[in-house]
A and B are shown apart, each in its own frame.
Chain A
Amino acid sequence: MSLETAVREALEEYADHVKPAALGQRALAGARRRAQRRANAAAASLVVIVLLAVATVSGGPGRQLSAPSAPAGSVIAAYYTPTDVQVLVPTTGRYRGTDLAITAVSPDLRYAAATADRYHAGPPPDQPRLAVLDTHTGAVRWFDLPERVEQPTWSPDGTLIAARVATPPGRSAVIVNRVTGHTALVPLDLPTNHVVTRLAWSGPDRLYTVSAPGPDTGDPGAGDPGAGDRDKQFFTVLDGTGAVVRRVTVAATWRIGKLTNGPRILLTRLSSRPAGRAVVPPEVAVVNLDDGTVGPTVELDWPGAIESLAPRGDGSFVALGYKERERLIVVNPDDASVDLVRDGLYPEGTKYFVVLPATDLPGPAAPAVF
């Protein structure tokens, strides 16, 4: 028997394993939902550049993340415990529990965004949506979205929420205007075979993505140098229409942790030194998306992995460090120093912090600032 015959017979037999499914009515119902979703999106069909213009005008100069003049300091805007999510109420300085899976808090701490209820089990609901929690009042507003999204991230002025589209896979973003309720689907200009792994804001009207070639996607994109190179990942800075402003290439060995807004992004990786040491110190470097430079690699005096979380106003970063359990640390890539900020102050099992720069916070929130 020839190989081709064997393949043919094997495929035939393999396909025989499929069980019949009654898909006609399901498809009709699904098509109706899609039509409704399109109608909703069309009703809010302002193009994103208009959304961004509104944000820029209404936000004025906005709160510049990691602006040199901002006072140093960070605040834990939200954290996860084994039973719920605690969100800081800036007017009281206390945390409020919620079931929403908060993954982003606006820079002024007034609003928190989630793509799911934390305890939601089973398949996701048919209608993709995004929740915005008002931290002052506890009120929740749901926005219907054209596609399912992940990693919501707030614009510097707290008006817009950008999130990468999860299905179909990440080559576009959804932007929601919290004030007007408008929603826009923005295609992202990426190398042909790339998939977005991160999405965040690098300025009032700029988004950036981190992308890398998807698994085994065949031919690399024509005209995209390095696009098919699995040793590299790309930072792509995009304007409000999704067009490319700048691209920065870094080695795939660098780990880009949780979302870090602002033009300076902290990269981390375990040491490139040969194995054999009992403890492998991490290395860090800073990418500056404004000028496209990647800073020198610095080895930290810290015995374990770290994950970049947020820039502070003084050039350092607040990070989550792992050594037996999570600890909040401040990493200064300029002099390779690491300072322990908090250790064991939170309930056992607490993890996944949302940390923001603390600038101009209302007085009562001060105890949460460090």
Chain B
Amino acid sequence: MNAEVQQEFLGFVEARSATLMRVAYALSGHQQSAEDLVQIALERLVVRWRQVEDPENYARRIMYHEYLSWWRRWGRREFVTADVDERPAPDDQETTILRRQSVIAALRQLGPRQRAVLVLRYLEDRSEAEVAEMLGCSVKTVSSQATRALAKLRLAYPGPIEPALLGVTA
């Protein structure tokens, strides 16, 4: 690994690691697990630095696949330790925060694929086709996983239910 590659790589990490860490945290729900996920992705990225066209996409792909394989190994135990934020909130924001916390709590109960699909769809704003490509599965699978995940979250969402969502079933 020459100095030029190292410099480019460190520049990339400087610029993009915060974004990668956000995704990793949304997936794992845990600071240390998020750091591990990103570090693994970066370690694999740097040895292929010259061959990889889109380093960020490459790193993300590794993170998602690594996350799914961790889950297979360790199950939920590894990922339920994060605390939901309990900062005091002004009264007028209380309802919103309660709703968010309900959604986050429900999110943590989802299986790994459903969670990965939601993170890609809603945190990363990816299309279903992009999600399918990232996770290595069919668009149909992405669509059904997203539908099931949202159906579970809807049960936990204390707000008014949108009429358009009522007809959706798992």
Q: A residues near B, CB below 8 A?
A: 1-4, 6-21, 23-28, 30-32, 34-35, 166-170, 193, 195, 214-219
* Closest chain B residue to A1, Cβ basis: B159
* Closest chain B residue to A15, Cβ basis: B22
CB-defined contacts of A217 to chain B, threshold 8 Å: 68, 71-72, 112-113
A-B contact pairs, 9 of them (CB 8 A): A15-B23, A17-B82, A20-B17, A20-B21, A23-B21, A23-B42, A24-B13, A215-B72, A216-B111
- Give bound CA distance, A11 to B107, whole Å: 9
CB-defined contacts of B26 to chain A, threshold 8 Å: 11, 14-15
B73 and A28 contact, CB distance less than 8 A: no
B38 and A21 contact, CB distance less than 8 A: yes
Q: Is B25 an interface residue (CB 8 A)?
A: yes
A168 and B73 contact, CB distance less than 8 A: yes
Encoded as 1 (CB less than 8 Å from any A CB) or 0, chain B from 9 to 40 comes to 11001100110011111100101001100111
Q: Is B165 an interface residue (CB 8 A)?
A: yes
B10 to chain A: closest CB distance in Å?
A: 5
Q: Is B76 an interface residue (CB 8 A)?
A: yes
Interface centre among A9, A16, A28 (most CB of B within 10 A): A28
B115 to chain A: closest CB distance in Å?
A: 10
Encoded as 1 (CB less than 8 Å from any A CB) or 0, chain B from 45 to 71 comes to 111000000000000000000101111
CB-defined contacts of B23 to chain A, threshold 8 Å: 15
Q: B residues near A, CB below 8 A?
A: 1, 6, 9-10, 13-14, 17-18, 21-26, 29, 31, 34-35, 38-40, 42-47, 66, 68-76, 82, 85, 99-100, 103-104, 107, 111-113, 118-119, 122-123, 137, 141, 145, 150, 153-154, 157, 159, 161-162, 164-165
B47 and A31 contact, CB distance less than 8 A: yes
A2 and B165 contact, CB distance less than 8 A: yes
A12 and B13 contact, CB distance less than 8 A: no
B48 to chain A: closest CB distance in Å?
A: 10
- Give bound CA distance, A27 to B17, whole Å: 11
B74 to chain A: closest CB distance in Å?
A: 8
B51 to chain A: closest CB distance in Å?
A: 14
B157 to chain A: closest CB distance in Å?
A: 6
A27 and B13 contact, CB distance less than 8 A: yes
CB-defined contacts of B72 to chain A, threshold 8 Å: 169, 193, 195, 214-215, 217
CB-defined contacts of B73 to chain A, threshold 8 Å: 166-170, 195, 214
A28 and B100 contact, CB distance less than 8 A: no
- What does DSSP make chain B's interface, helix, strand, loop or mixed? helix
B136 to chain A: closest CB distance in Å?
A: 11
B9 and A168 contact, CB distance less than 8 A: no
B46 and A21 contact, CB distance less than 8 A: no
- Give bound CA distance, A195 to B6, whole Å: 37
B25 and A24 contact, CB distance less than 8 A: no
CB-defined contacts of A15 to chain B, threshold 8 Å: 22-23, 25-26, 123
A10 and B31 contact, CB distance less than 8 A: no
- Give bound CA distance, A10 to B103, whole Å: 7
B141 and A219 contact, CB distance less than 8 A: yes
B154 and A3 contact, CB distance less than 8 A: yes
* Closest chain B residue to A195, Cβ basis: B72
- Give bound CA distance, A270 to B170, whole Å: 36
- Give bound CA distance, A343 to B122, whole Å: 61
A3 and B38 contact, CB distance less than 8 A: no
CB-defined contacts of B24 to chain A, threshold 8 Å: 18
CB-defined contacts of B71 to chain A, threshold 8 Å: 214-217
B42 and A7 contact, CB distance less than 8 A: no
CB-defined contacts of B18 to chain A, threshold 8 Å: 20
- Give bound CA distance, A13 to B103, whole Å: 11
* Closest chain A residue to B40, Cβ basis: A30
CB-defined contacts of A218 to chain B, threshold 8 Å: 111, 113, 137, 141, 145
New A-B pairs, 14, CB < 8 Å, besides A2-B164, A27-B45: A8-B123, A13-B104, A14-B25, A14-B107, A17-B25, A18-B21, A18-B25, A27-B43, A28-B9, A32-B1, A34-B43, A195-B73, A216-B112, A217-B113
Cβ-defined partner of B123 (8 Å) among A1, A12, A25 = A12
B104 and A3 contact, CB distance less than 8 A: no
* Closest chain A residue to B112, Cβ basis: A216
Given A3-B161, A27-B42, answer yes or no on A18-B22 (Cβ-Cβ < 8 Å): yes
